[in-house]
Amino acid sequence: MEIIPRIESILFVASKPLRTDKIAKALEVSVGKVEEAIKILEMKFNRDDSGIHILCVENTVQMSTHPGCADVIEGFVKDEIAGELTRAQLETLTVVAYRGPITRPELEQIRGVNCSVILRNLMMRGLIDEREEKESLMPVYTLTVEALAHLGVEKADLLPDYNTLKNHEYIENVLQEES
């Protein structure tokens, strides 16, 4: 497979700024090849008729929405984070609580659906944190202190049936299938 769709896929999945050297390492290519591919992606996306743009600052790159759509995105995001948590958000939050730190692909393997929007909403609500994992392109997700306070516990391992659910046989099997 060509490098351009691979980089495009990485940027889409990461949904955060990535260093070009980290992308190069993941793809086992030179930083120069990554930078050339990013220029092509900028030509492809950074147009008035595209809702997606490629943002570059020094040696980092991110896939983002069109800057001209900021007002629409802001209204959509406000609607998304207002009100009670949906069933999907509660399920995702539960998996993060009992299996965290967890990567998005692991979470999606367990739930069987794409979780990017749900994770973003939970982060915007201050219920989960995203942090860098040194050995991976993928960040990991954990509960925030605020989420623990809402749940009335000081640590995730004080949640009901924590050990049973953290090491549940079904989840272990699902995650091993992916390996």
Model pLDDT, residue 148: 82
pTM of the prediction? 0.56
Model pLDDT, residue 174: 66
Task: Reply yes or no on whether the pLDDT at 77 is more than 70.
Answer: no
Percentage with pLDDT > 70 across the chain:
89
At 155-177, the pLDDT tens digits run 888 888 888 877 777 666 766 76
For residue 31 the two structure tokens come to 């930083």
Task: Give the confidence band of 179 by pLDDT, cuts at 50, 70, 90.
Answer: low
If one looks up domain 83-178 in CATH, what number appears?
A: 1.10.10.10
Give the strands of the sheet with 52-57, arranged side by side: 18-19, 60-65, 52-57
At 27-60, the pLDDT tens digits run 999 999 999 999 999 999 999 999 999 999 889 9
| Range list for CATH 1.10.10.10 in the chain | 3-68, 83-178
Q: Say how many CA atoms lie within 13 Å of 27 toward its Cβ.
A: 25
Contacts of 8 (CB under 8 A, 6+ apart): 41, 63
Task: Reply yes or no on whether the pLDDT at 138 is more than 90.
Answer: no
Beta strand 128-131 with 140-143 is antiparallel
If one looks up domain 3-68 in CATH, what number appears?
A: 1.10.10.10
Mean pLDDT over the full length of the chain: 84
| E strand or H helix at 144 | none
